[in-house]
Amino acid sequence: MGKKCIGVDVGGTTVKLGLFEVTGELLKKWEIPTNKEEQGKYIISDIAESVRQVLEEENIPLTEVEGAGMGVPGPVMPDGYVEVCVNLGWKDKYPARELSDALKGLPVRCGNDANVAALGEMWQGGGKGYTDIVMVTLGTGVGGGVIIDEKIITGKHGLGGEIGHIHVRDEETEHCNCGGVGCLEQVASATGIAREARRKMAACDTPSLMRKAGDQVTAKDVLDAAKEGDALALEVMEVVGHYLGVALATLALTVDPQMFVIGGGVSKAGQYLVEVINRHYAKYMPISENRGTIGLAKLGNDAGIYGAARLMLD
């Protein structure tokens, strides 16, 4: 048994933790509730306590641990500074330093959760074997992470990989949560796909499998119907695929990764979704057929603890 490392994925409801071999094998995973009382001031000490407890149970001295990484839901500056994490109540914090202090100086690094998940997928998931990937997470929102030479592009203001807020749609009129208009998230998130379906249904009388759900239609309904050849659902997915294809082509012409890894709830639609995106992506990359491929994420909700553990292993 070699050295160990610890990955921590801090979410608004639970904190996921993982104990890993430095080679990438997950030895144990567990979770604790996120205590958001008093601006989340107990979160770090709860994590430290839980780590100590598990290490003791597993009979692993702290000296056997190479370090810990932590993904948090908000922008993290290159020096580890977190100005604000709305979901946790945090303000003006250096979470990595605090966790390190609480664990006798164990080396700790902190990153944005979406970026960290991308690193996890590169290490042991859909992008395993690659050094340069872009992950696009299609969930309630759209998240992303850019990994070049096995390192996260954090950006100089913590905005690296904020792919969900790329402006792709000039004719959009509604506002995104970020304050912008026409963001990728507004059309390619689960919420966005459902909204697009509602718009299409309202604009015509074409029969569709999606009409069963009516205004309660979900992204899954749309994708299931599209897979069955439902004409209206296919139209919705053409719109979604167009904007995702444009966004991926833009990323390919900027950082040119080996692979795009598609994750998040929407990616459960599997190969069908990859094919739709790929068709549009190819259209906006006539400049070269020698370009990054598109595939699916593999780690699901564990991407965060994998990537966090990998943060320390440079």
Q: Per CB under 8 A, which of residues 15..34 are in contact with a second copy?
A: none
Q: Which of 126, 241, 257, 307 binds a second copy (CB under 8 A)?
A: 257
Q: Per CB under 8 A, which of residues 118..147 are in contact with a second copy?
A: 132, 146
> Considering beta carbons, is residue 231 or 287 the nearer one to a second copy?
287
Q: What is the dihedral of CA 77, 296, 121, 115, to 10 degrees?
A: 0
Distance in Å, CB of 114 to a second copy, minimum: 12
Residue count of the chain, please give it.
314
Element (H, E) at 84: strand 82-85
Q: Which of 7, 160, 304, 307 binds a second copy (CB under 8 A)?
A: 160
Q: Give the range of 51-59, 107-115, 118-126, 283-291 binding a second copy by CB under 8 A.
A: 283-291
Q: Per CB under 8 A, which of residues 172..201 are in contact with a second copy?
A: 178-180
Q: Which of 251, 266, 276, 305 binds a second copy (CB under 8 A)?
A: 251
How would you list the strands of the sheet with 14-21, edge to edge?
A: 26-33, 14-21, 4-10, 65-72, 108-112
Q: Which of 37, 59, 61, 156 binds a second copy (CB under 8 A)?
A: 156
Contact 201, 210 (CB under 8 A): yes
Q: Which of 14, 254, 271, 301 binds a second copy (CB under 8 A)?
A: 254
Residue written as token pair 């719109």: 239
Element (H, E) at 110: strand 108-112
110 binds a second copy (CB under 8 A): no
290 binds a second copy (CB under 8 A): yes
Encoded amino acid at 208, one letter: S
Distance in Å, CB of 84 to a second copy, minimum: 11
62 binds a second copy (CB under 8 A): no
150 binds a second copy (CB under 8 A): no
**How far is C-alpha 103 from the chain's CA centre?**
27
- The DSSP output letter for 182 is S
Distances in Å between the Cα of 231 and the Cα atoms of 9, 91, 197, 205, 252 are 40, 48, 12, 12, 30
107 binds a second copy (CB under 8 A): no
> Considering beta carbons, is residue 42 or 94 the nearer one to a second copy?
94
For 160-191, b/e burial (b = at least 16 CB within 10 A) is bbbbbbbebbeebeeebeeeeebbbbbbbbbb
Residue written as token pair 């203001």: 157
Q: Which of 107, 153, 211, 300 binds a second copy (CB under 8 A)?
A: 153
Spatial CA neighbour of 238 closest among 191, 271, 197: 197
162 binds a second copy (CB under 8 A): yes
Q: Is 207 helix (H, G, I), strand (E, B) or coil?
A: coil
Q: Give the range of 10-18, 24-32, 226-234, 286-294 binding a second copy by CB under 8 A.
A: 286-294
> Considering beta carbons, is residue 47 or 249 the nearer one to a second copy?
249
Give the residues lining the site for a second copy (CB under 8 A). Answer: 75, 132, 146, 148, 153-163, 165-167, 170, 178-180, 246, 249-258, 284-288, 290-292
